[in-house]
Amino acid sequence: MPEAPTILVTGAAGNLGSEVVDRLEARGARVRCLVRRQAGVRAGAEPVVGDLTDPTIVRAALVGVDAVFLLWPLIDAASAHGLIAELAAAAPHVVYLSSTAVDDQAVRQSDPIAQVHADMEALLRDAGLRPVVLRSDTLASNARGWAAQLRAGDVVAGPDMARTAVVDERDVADAAVAVLLADRGQPVHGPYVLTGPEVLSRADQVDRLGVALRRRLRFQAIPADLARSRMLADGRPERLVEALIAASARRPESGRITDHVERLTGRPAGTFAQWAMDHAAEFS
């Protein structure tokens, strides 16, 4: 039997990364996790504790690795050059999680979050890594950020965002694992655009959560200045807050729905309504 591949997962303690780790382990892969704190690593995975911007840590994490699931956590790509150099030296199969907000025809992207993903895609390509790029739409798991408000009342208040085809992070994880474990001798084309089956506003998402919770919920859009002050008060980093505010103000609506989840996984993408039903207990 062929030896099980070793996969490095970055962001392994997060909503998406943890789903990727679980699926890789279920498929028999050996999983190594690059994390800031060991506490978030799943049992059975090998932790490497450190910062993705530290080339020494990255070099150690890449020893013997066949493939990398790469999540870039910062708002700009300036500190990614050391990481890219280490990836180029080790030459693993790289699967990069990007964003559907990236516009290949634009000189500059709509907001800092879209821009950093476009910059990372370019850096990986220019390094000769031939990454498989998965451009994910808004993850359903972002709704977990509303849990505290919904435990306190029936209103979700926040900056409004353009409508988008919200995608279940479990579908993104399944797609990522399919690519990570694909035979490297067979070309896997991209970028893949991973969307859910329907375009939703934030109010639509809150409505569907209300159905799952059997409560009458509503979304209340608030001005950018108020949203900024609340996010800063919650302890979010200032650069992230400014990027989120910019995305809410500048990012255009996307009506695009694709079958790329099904292409990679063999089944259609799930709905946000089903995600809400499956996670209802987290909001009670």
Domain ranges of the chain: 6-135+169-194+257-267
Q: Which value, in Å, is the radius of gyration of the alpha carbons in the chain?
A: 19
Superfamily of domain covering 6-135+169-194+257-267: NAD(P)-binding Rossmann-like Domain (3.40.50.720)
- Strand order through the sheet with 6-10: 46-49, 30-35, 6-10, 67-70, 93-99, 132-136, 192-194
| Under 8 Å between Cβ of 130 and 93 | no
> In sequence order, what are the beta bridge partners of 252?
none
The CA-based diameter of the chain, rounded to the nearest angstrom, is 59
Computed from CA positions of residues 242, 244, 249, 254, in that sequence, does the dihedral angle turn out positive or negative? positive
Place of tokens 């969307």: 195
For residue 83, the SS3 value is helix
| Region of 69 on the Ramachandran plot (φ > 0 left; ψ -120 to 50 alpha; else beta) | beta
pTM of the model as a whole: 0.94
Q: Quick one: pLDDT band at residue 284, thresholds 50, 70, 90?
A: confident
Each residue's pLDDT tens digit, 108-165: 999 999 999 999 999 999 999 999 999 999 999 999 999 999 999 999 999 999 999 9
Each residue's pLDDT tens digit, 54-105: 999 999 999 999 999 999 999 999 999 999 999 999 999 999 999 999 999 9
What is the Cα–Cα distance from 172 to 154, expressed in whole angstroms?
Answer: 29
| Under 8 Å between Cβ of 75 and 240 | yes
